[in-house]
């Protein structure tokens, strides 16, 4: 009996060990299944890395930045119609230590969503329901089209090319709760970007334009855009872990596996941020996994001669990937909404950012090679652009230039402002405080800088400069080539492409004007913050002094002038500070500050009128008169500054 018991224990121990070994080996082989499968794949990445070494190279690169630029990331690589790598790095939820799972973890895709808007539009083109070169008002409800009040004709091609004349509009782009959302039609009328430059003459990135394009699709298809893309894109590709509905109403289960979003902490680490809710949902509302986005990548890179499951014929996809906008034919441009990137191979794609997520999607059509990268941190750039460069490669610019005679770089020296600026609202002032500076460093070399960030460029053709060195990744992705458009020996525009063109400073926004504006801002702020204290001190010192009636009245209106100036300064400083602290403010939050400027101006005019009236009736010292006229002068300059920089525009 005792021997049987020992035998049973031994058998049990052997079985237990065997099971543990089996599970260990099985689990390990499951983790390495992609790597094992990868070794069977021949070939190399466009940059020349053998495919069987690719995962190791990616791991080495990502390890340098993980936990520094983002807490988590998911990367998928597609080659010849199959996913050859799908991997999660770091944490989807730092607090709960939940790891990123490429098949389950849901990320915000940001502006990669626009690719689905352009794909939807091309489906309607294929069906003969949409003409890319027709005025979009043809497809919009007449009442809505009238309210848009565009000064120039806009086509779907213009919207795809980000060349519809729109500036930027910073408000209402992202809300942090469902309560901040507006219906798409209402959002388009509420958040109109100013159409301030001639259509087709510049590339200026526009969320508004993409949102308007989605509404055109909505009107033609007669169904909400997020329903259209679910039915005609997601369902077709079995992207079951993806939604374009910003409230997740059509797929609530995804909320269970959605990653937390984070902001970099200046002191190190990350701060938990907010998820983004997007009223302009065709421009950036899709949430999904990296493997679902890889399914889309597979669908738009079919084998030559084969059609995509998203289109009825192969010509449509070829058209979508063909260049649709480039001002000179040599610069990188736009391919029906897909941005072209500089490199040894023609590469197209798109990036994305929300309040706390960043993403990158890049295709090399010739190689049927696609990189998909999703991260859960705001404005991550090192992994996004670095992995793309690692796998696709970059164009190496020689410092030698083939031209014997090139114009001097001094000709392009100067300050420039993006076309994508807050034209027509008070944030325009902030745009002009962060100008791009181009400085000639020698005859054929320039440096372009934005604050502390710099890129060095070499002139390889007349007025055509290529990036050779930089201290910030965005230069490689957004500003790889600069072409200066000259008119009468003066730079009119820097052609960059993919929504990033820069313009000369306008006549009323020149450097002297900007310097004068800043000086007025500083002097009026300093004066009207100190003046009330001086008034109180003087009032305390002269409290026993008997004054004539006219003196009392003058003092009252003079005090009123000071008070109006102080409140005006504080009101607008608070307005600007609120925007700086949270760039995703709604216009409704800052509108009261702008409205308050009107009664303050009226009160100032009234106080000025009566103070002048009583000033004539009293005997004043020279010092008193100087301070009074200084107050009047600074108030005049303050309100002139606010009017000139759109602080009275409330629509």
- What domain range is 456 assigned to? 409-508
Per-residue model confidence as pLDDT tens digits over 96-117: 999 999 999 999 999 999 999 9
Per-residue model confidence as pLDDT tens digits over 371-381: 999 999 999 99
> Is there a single domain that holds both residue 454 and residue 370?
no
The DSSP secondary structure of 561-607, one letter per residue, reads HHHHHHHHHHHHHHHHHHHHH-TT--HHHHHHHHHHHHHHHHHHHHH
DSSP 168: -
Among 489, 508, 527, residue at a domain's last position = 508
Tell me the pLDDT of the chain averaged across its residues.
89
pLDDT at 18: 39
- Reading the block at residue 571, the tokens are 């009101």
Q: Is residue 624 part of a domain?
A: yes
> Is there a single domain that holds both residue 541 and residue 639?
yes
> Is there a single domain that holds both residue 336 and residue 219?
yes
State how far the Cα of 299 lies from the Cα of 377, in Å rounded to an integer.
Answer: 28
pLDDT at 538: 77
Residue 386 pLDDT greater than 90, yes or no? yes
Per-residue model confidence as pLDDT tens digits over 27-40: 322 232 333 344 45
Task: Specify the range with the lowest mean pLDDT, choosing from 160-169, 395-404, 586-595, 596-605.
Answer: 395-404
State how far the Cα of 122 lies from the Cα of 313, in Å rounded to an integer.
Answer: 11
Q: Is residue 95 part of a domain?
A: no
> Is there a single domain that holds both residue 484 and residue 555?
no
Strands across the sheet containing 369-375: 98-99, 82-93, 72-79, 369-375, 358-364, 347-353, 338-341, 334-335
State how far the Cα of 434 lies from the Cα of 443, in Å rounded to an integer.
Answer: 26
Alpha helix (H) ranges present in 300-392?
Answer: 314-321, 382-392
How many Cβ atoms sit within 10 Å of the Cβ of residue 423? 22
Using alpha carbons, select from 219, 193, 211, 206 the residue that is nearest to residue 278: 211
Residue 72 pLDDT greater than 80, yes or no? yes
Task: Specify the range with the lowest mean pLDDT, choosing from 58-62, 344-348, 452-456, 585-589.
Answer: 585-589
State how far the Cα of 300 lies from the Cα of 309, in Å rounded to an integer.
Answer: 8
Q: Is residue 93 part of a domain?
A: no
Among 357, 392, 427, residue at a domain's last position = 392
pLDDT at 33: 31
Number of folded domains that form the chain:
4
- State the distance between the two ends of the chain, measured CA to CA, in whole angstroms: 93
pLDDT at 546: 66
pLDDT at 3: 39
- The 3-state secondary structure of 77-89, one letter per residue: EEECCEEEEEEEE
Q: Is residue 87 part of a domain?
A: no
- Reading the block at residue 307, the tokens are 């059609």
Per-residue model confidence as pLDDT tens digits over 622-637: 888 888 999 999 999 9
pLDDT at 551: 83
> Is there a single domain that holds both residue 305 and residue 452?
no
Q: Is residue 231 part of a domain?
A: yes
Q: Is residue 100 part of a domain?
A: no
> Is there a single domain that holds both residue 485 and residue 621?
no
- CATH code (residue 355): 3.40.710.10
Share of the chain above pLDDT 90, in %: 73
pLDDT at 433: 87
Per-residue model confidence as pLDDT tens digits over 194-222: 899 999 999 999 999 999 999 999 999 99
Give mean pLDDT, residues 65-71: 96
pLDDT at 595: 96
The alpha carbon of 424 is separated from its chain's Cα centroid by a whole number of angstroms, namely 19
On whether the pTM is more than 0.75, the answer is yes
> Is there a single domain that holds both residue 541 and residue 613?
yes
Q: Is residue 39 part of a domain?
A: no
pLDDT at 403: 60
State how far the Cα of 156 lies from the Cα of 213, in Å rounded to an integer.
Answer: 7
Looking at per-residue confidence, does 537 or 119 come out higher?
Answer: 119
> Is there a single domain that holds both residue 168 and residue 119?
yes
Give mean pLDDT, residues 295-303: 97
State how far the Cα of 230 lies from the Cα of 218, in Å rounded to an integer.
Answer: 13
State how far the Cα of 174 lies from the Cα of 462, in Å rounded to an integer.
Answer: 42
> Is there a single domain that holds both residue 128 and residue 232?
yes
Per-residue model confidence as pLDDT tens digits over 140-199: 999 999 999 898 999 999 999 999 999 988 788 899 999 889 999 999 999 888 899 999
> Is there a single domain that holds both residue 343 and residue 266?
yes
> Is there a single domain that holds both residue 240 and residue 139?
yes
> Is there a single domain that holds both residue 153 and residue 192?
yes
Among 508, 536, 560, residue at a domain's last position = 508
Q: Is residue 344 part of a domain?
A: yes
């Amino acid at each position: 009996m005792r021997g049987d018991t020992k035998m049973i224990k031994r058998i049990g121990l052997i079985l237990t060990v065997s099971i543990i070994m089996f599970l260990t080996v099985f689990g390990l082989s499951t983790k390495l299944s992609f790597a094992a499968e990868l070794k069977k794949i021949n070939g190399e990445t466009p940059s020349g890395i053998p495919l069987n070494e690719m995962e190791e190279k990616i791991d080495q690169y990502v390890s340098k930045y993980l936990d520094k630029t983002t807490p988590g990331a998911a990367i998928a690589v597609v080659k010849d119609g199959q996913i050859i790598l799908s991997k999660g790095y770091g944490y989807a939820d730092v607090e709960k230590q939940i790891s990123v799972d490429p098949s389950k973890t849901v990320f915000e895709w940001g502006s990669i969503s626009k690719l689905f808007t352009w794909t939807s539009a091309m489906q309607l083109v294929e069906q003969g329901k949409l003409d890319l070169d027709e005025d979009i008002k043809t497809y919009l409800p007449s009442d809505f089209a009238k309210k848009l009040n565009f000064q120039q004709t806009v086509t779907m091609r213009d919207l795809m090319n980000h060349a519809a004349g729109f500036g930027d509009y910073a408000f209402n782009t992202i809300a942090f709760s469902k309560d901040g959302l507006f219906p798409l039609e209402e959002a388009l009328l509420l958040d109109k970007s100013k159409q301030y430059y001639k259509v087709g003459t510049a590339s200026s990135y526009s969320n508004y334009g993409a949102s308007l394009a989605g509404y055109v699709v909505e009107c033609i298809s007669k169904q909400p855009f997020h329903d259209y893309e679910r039915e005609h894109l997601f369902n077709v590709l079995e992207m079951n872990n993806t939604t374009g509905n910003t409230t997740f109403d059509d797929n609530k289960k995804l909320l269970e596996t959605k990653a937390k979003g984070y902001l970099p902490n200046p002191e190190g680490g990350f701060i938990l941020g907010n998820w983004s809710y997007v009223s302009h949902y065709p421009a950036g509302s899709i949430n999904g996994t990296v493997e679902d986005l890889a399914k889309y990548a597979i669908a738009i890179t079919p084998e030559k001669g084969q059609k995509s499951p998203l289109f009825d014929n192969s010509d449509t996809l070829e058209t979508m990937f063909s260049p649709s906008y480039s001002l000179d034919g040599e610069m990188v441009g736009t391919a029906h909404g897909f941005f072209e990137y500089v490199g040894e191979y023609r590469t197209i794609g798109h990036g994305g950012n929300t309040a706390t997520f960043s993403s990158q999607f890049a295709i090399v059509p010739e190689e049927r090679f696609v990189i998909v990268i999703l991260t859960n941190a705001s404005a991550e750039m090192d992994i996004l652009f670095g992995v793309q460069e690692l796998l696709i490669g970059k164009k190496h610019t020689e410092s030698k230039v083939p031209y014997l005679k090139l114009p001097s770089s001094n000709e392009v020296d100067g300050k420039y402002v993006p076309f994508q600026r807050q034209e027509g609202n008070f944030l325009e002032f902030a745009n002009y405080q962060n100008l791009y500076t181009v400085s000639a460093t020698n005859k054929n070399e320039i440096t372009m800088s934005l604050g502390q960030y710099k890129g060095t460029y070499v002139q390889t053709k007349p007025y055509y400069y290529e990036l050779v060195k930089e201290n910030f990744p965005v230069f490689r992705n957004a500003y790889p080539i600069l072409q200066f458009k000259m008119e009468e020996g003066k730079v009119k525009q820097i052609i960059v492409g993919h929504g990033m063109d820069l313009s000369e400073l306008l006549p009323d926004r020149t450097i002297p004007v900007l310097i004068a504006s800043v000086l007025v801002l500083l002097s009026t702020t300093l004066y009207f913050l100190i003046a009330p204290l001086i008034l109180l001190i003087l009032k305390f010192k002269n409290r026993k002094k008997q004054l004539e009636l006219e003196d009392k009245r003058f003092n009252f209106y003079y005090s009123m002038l000071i008070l109006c100036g102080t409140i005006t300064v504080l009101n607008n400083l608070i307005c600007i500070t609120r925007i700086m602290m949270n760039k995703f403010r709604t216009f409704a939050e800052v509108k009261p500050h702008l409205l308050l400027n009107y009664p303050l101006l009226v009160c100032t005019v009234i106080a000025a009128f009566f103070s002048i009236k009583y000033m004539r009736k009293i005997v004043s010292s020279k010092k008193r008169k100087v301070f009074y006229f200084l107050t009047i002068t600074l108030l005049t300059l303050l309100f002139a500054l606010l009017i000139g920089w759109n602080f009275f525009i409330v629509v």
